[in-house]
Amino acid sequence: MRRSLRLTALTAGLIVLVAGAPVQAQDRDSLGADLDTILADPGLAGADVGLVVTTPDGDVVYQRAPERRRQPASNAKLATSAAALEVLGPDHTFTTTVATPARRTGAVLNGNLYLKGTGDPTMLAADYDALAATVAATGTRVVTGNLTADDTWFDDIRLGLSWAWDDEPYYYNAQVSALTVSPDEDFDAGSIIVRVAPGAAGQRPTVTTDPPTNYVRVVNNATTGPAGSSNTTTVDRVHGTNTFTITGSIPAGASAQSEWMAVWEPTGYAAALFRASLQRHGVTVLGPTVRAATPSDARVLATRESIPLSELQVPFLKLSNNLHAEILVKSMGRKVSGEGSWDAGRPVLVDALTTLGVTGALSMADGSGLSRMDQISPAQLAQLLSGATTRPWFPAWFDALPVAGNPDRLTGGTLRSRMAGTAAEGNVHAKTGSLTGVTGLSGYVDTAGGERLVFSMLTNNTIGINAKTIEDRVAVRLAEEGGDTTAATTAPRTTTYPQDLECSWVKAC
């Protein structure tokens, strides 16, 4: 199926900004000169760098090439999360139900059992087990019909437009379905954890999955190497299947290695876990697992409600969760037009940005920023950040942003290892973004002078430099503004973090 991509000129009017030489407000000469120096780093030669700094009211403090659209990477999640709060509301929840139109005779349900999802990314194996226990508590012991998985709340297009094929096996590029499973409370929907534990030297390691399921197949071609040897273990998934192949060597006595991997067809994955749970609770489904919509006359036997969207923002933004973004895009489409698809959701997302004061043309091919077809400018992100401050949901949204230098994983998020020991520590709340050759940092900084500033920096086409170090220098300098400049340092402590992926995507933060 060919999917359309919307390039929208927002109806609030065009913002006209001059590219080229940086512009500073008259009383910001020192700040502007320092930012000019940072952006003159020779490592950025040939790269496309845009930086906008404003007050929350939108007054420009500094700008360089502000209006040029760039790939935002995961800075796109700022747009998706804010739009979802506008459209769905902070109290929005996802419901998963078990229902049947069939009559029960004694312990026998004479018909089909329906498992229906609405995109809940927080569904764990334990939640499906709880639904199964509730069904068992009705007295049902045999279902004569099928176990029917109803994922019709969304369409059946599983992967986003222009997502990279070589990322497809990995959890941060998992498939989107209205009926899905997360393996742990990071809520990485549509994925499974594959754990490789060493055996005796020369023997096969032990491979397990979390959650345990027969929906996937493991091919263990790995070996256990001598104690102290290199760990060369890799986990891959054969395209179009749920066959996971483990190769390489893991040293004897080493800790188990865990890899988060995307599952092929998460609808079937959820149904398999639910069927296994039913069996454990003494309920046997005689028919196969099929996919179909739940009849309108079906009565609900069990239900599970998710946490509200305001709370989901924390794992979504702190850990830069791609699947949350895409589920929200489809959910917005479902609410506004009755169609849970990217084609329906993207226009809703873009229209919502106008209510937040974003002007000009932009392109949103997905909600997560994985797509190389996403195009937005730093000026537009700064407008979004300014507009968000006027919304009643802003405090929860602000708290959900990663916090520089805070070591707590669900506070610092993707910034927990960045800018520690500088003026930015605890004072920069911002969203990171990472793809090969692309990096972004956009959010808020509370300065040493007691002022809050909005900033957005997008850098594209980098080669041979980790431009996140330059983002950090910019954020630190902003945090120092209004303080004792003689004691300031614009060089944050060196930290090792990946530059091509969000650190959370490789579980490094």
Catalytic residue among 77, 318, 330, 468: 77
Per the DSSP assignment, residues forming a β-bridge with 291 are 149
- The catalytic position among 182, 249, 306, 320 is 320
Distance CA 483, CA 499 (A): 31
Q: Which residue stretches of 183-295 are H helix? A: 266-280
Cβ count within 10 A of residue 487: 9
Query: Can you tell me the distance from the alpha carbon of 114 to that of 120, in angstroms, rounded to the nearest whole number?
Result: 16
Instruction: Give dist(CA 142, CA 145) in Å, integer.
Output: 9
Cβ pair 10, 361 in contact under 8 A: yes
The CA angle 175-466-405, to the nearest 5 degrees, is 80
Catalytic, 74? Answer: yes
Residue 78: which H helix or E strand, with range? helix 76-87
The two tokens of residue 346 are: 């993207």
CA distance 252 to 448: 51
Q: How far is the CA of 186 from the CAs of 181, 210, 292, in angstroms?
A: 11, 13, 29
Give the max Cα distance, the chain: 83
Rounded-to-integer distance, Cα 133 and Cα 150, Å: 19
The beta strand positions in 185-286, using DSSP E, are 191-197, 206-210, 217-220, 223-225, 234-237, 243-247, 249-251, 257-262, 284-285
Decide if 286 contacts 113 (C-beta within 8 A). no
d(CA 265, CA 289): 13
Q: Could you report how far apart the first and last alpha carbons of the chain are, in Å?
A: 37
State the Cα–Cα distance between residues 240 and 438, nearest whole angstrom.
29
Distance of alpha carbon 187 from alpha carbon 312, whole angstroms:
9
β-pair partners for 192? 261
Q: Output the six-digit token pair for 296.
A: 């309108």
- DSSP symbols for 115-158: EE-S--TT--HHHHHHHHHHHHHTT--EE-S-EEEE-TTS-S--
74, 191, 442, 456: which one is catalytic? 74
CA distance 375 to 369: 9
Query: 3-class SS at 430?
Result: strand
Q: List active site positions.
A: 74, 77, 320
